[in-house]
Amino acid sequence: MDNKLLEYLLSYLTPQRQELFEKVINKRTRHLTVVLEDIFQKQNASAVLRTCDCFGIQDVHIIEDRNEFQVNREIAMGASKWLSLHKYNSKENNALDAIQTLKKQGYRIVATTPHNNDLELQDFDITKGKTALVFGSELPGITETIMQEADEFLKIPMYGFTESFNISVSAAIILHHLTMKMRDSKDLNWQLSDAEKDELKMEWIRRTIKRSELIEKRFWEENKKK
């Protein structure tokens, strides 16, 4: 990361936009991340992205085995512009590829299911380490691969006749609860590092400024002359 380039690009933003970037980035986290497996309804995919942005979740991991992940812009409200989306769609078993990648990054894999023997949301220990929350496809739910590879299983307690919530509702409830516990904890270092913040600011600026590549080119040309 070139800090001089970052400062140069920041100068193209209004003070209000710079202040907003700083405010939002200080609340971003990678302690929690979301994994979406084979979501096929645009409205659900888009609603989850919007929820992740609202609760400060930076990374969303998208598994595409049978279904292509698509976004409804009206529902997402531009959320994907500010998130880091990681797609897994080039392997024979993309679910396994995603889980192995996340485990190498130090995440424990927590599958969300409505089964009776799962840990209930209020009992989940957010302090045990970085957590990847896996949400399965709308009808079949999580696959057998996820079932076998998951470290823990989590469910939202329910008291009606219906077996489960819609996936976007489940994500909203779980993320609201866990991000509150995370932010209230005095023992967790859940915020991004300074290097991660700078890298993310650079991404956001490039997505915000029109023709940012030309501005960067001008920066390098000017610095060559010095």
Tokens of 78: 């531009």
Q: Distance between CA atoms of 91 and 44, rounded to whole angstroms?
A: 24
- Residue among 64, 67, 62, 50 at smallest CA distance from 171: 50
List residues bridging with 60 in a β-sheet: 34, 85
Pairing of strands 108-112, 84-88: unpaired
Question: Using CA atoms in the order 133, 96, 65, 129, what is the torsion angle rounded to 10 degrees?
Answer: 10
* Residue 112 in marked binding region: yes
Angle between the N-to-C axes of helices 212-225 and 194-208, in degrees from 0 to 180, rounded to the nearest 10: 120
Q: Distance between CA atoms of 88 and 65, rounded to whole angstroms?
A: 8
CB-based burial label for 16 (10 Å; 0-12, 13-18, 19+): exposed
- Residue among 146, 160, 180, 191 at smallest CA distance from 26: 191
DSSP conformation class of 125:
-
Do the Cβ atoms of 168 and 44 come closer than 8 Å? yes
* Residue 215 in marked binding region: no
Return binding residues.
Answer: 112, 156
Return binding residues for S-adenosyl-L-methionine.
Answer: 112, 156
